Amino acid sequence: MPNTVQGSYATPYETEAAQLYPLGQRLECPNGRTYRYAEMGATTAGEIAKLYQSEVNDNWDTLSLTSAIVAGDTSVAFTNGATDIKLNEFAGGYVIYEETDNLGEPHRIRANTATSPAGAGTVYLFKGDSFQVALGVTGNDVITLVKSPVKDIIITPASEPTGIVVGIPQVVIAVDQFGWVQTHGVASCLIDGTVFIAKELRPSESIAGAVAALDYDEVDDADTGVVGRCMEVAPDTEFGHLFISLEGL
């Protein structure tokens, strides 16, 4: 797929049960608004014009290797933790080295095997990618897996975000279905409290899916990060205009 799909004004309102694009595919509309292709979580249908985040990470960290990695390998075998892994659940996600002298080295995952708790699993990298550093089978040589941030997205909670903020859908995306979340440009979102023209907005910690004014003098507010800037002083608990800037300025 191209880095950016050029869509029509109607494209962000399209949803489907069958995946049409890679997760994270970027879409740009004629007015410059941009979106990312996402999958709604399996529990609750999406809501229009509310802020969404990635799923809360499960216990797929510090996984032990079942065989050593040799430089040039395009897959890695590991022992799973306590949570089932579905077939290709990590497709579009990432694997990194953790707790080793060779920290980091993130690689995008093309596919993975279905793996039961404590079972043996394998993840496969995309064609043309490979591990660059050898890794042995020792207690300190482990890997961590993360899903694509736009897989199984959930509404931001009435608390500080529990995952990375990914965007605002413009249409209802049904449970386990696919659609677009806006990441840049003029958008609408639920408002919490008093907001101020041209000032920065953050995820609300009081109302799920809402944005609120960012106050740098209040440490917790500043820590949640910037979603965008206010374009309209909308009433509390109503929907207002903002310029969302999760990617780009």
Q: Which domain holds residue 49?
A: 4-54+153-245
Q: What is the pLDDT at residue 223? A: 75
- Judge whether 37 and 169 are in contact, CB under 8 Å: no
Look at residues 146, 167, 200 and tell me which one is the last residue of a structural domain: 146
Locate 90 and state its tokens: 């990590």
pTM of the model: 0.93
On whether both 159 and 200 belong to a single domain, the answer is yes
Q: Are residues 239 and 164 in the same domain?
A: yes
Q: Could you say which of 146, 164, 189 is where a domain stops?
A: 146
Indicate whether 166 and 238 sit together in one domain: yes
pLDDT of residue 2: 66
Residue 57: predicted pLDDT: 84
Q: Who contacts 213 (Cβ-Cβ below 8 Å, separation ≥6)? A: 193, 194, 195, 196, 199, 200, 201, 202, 230
Among 33-37, 81-85, 154-158, 183-187, which is the least confidently predicted range?
81-85
CATH number for position 81: 2.40.30
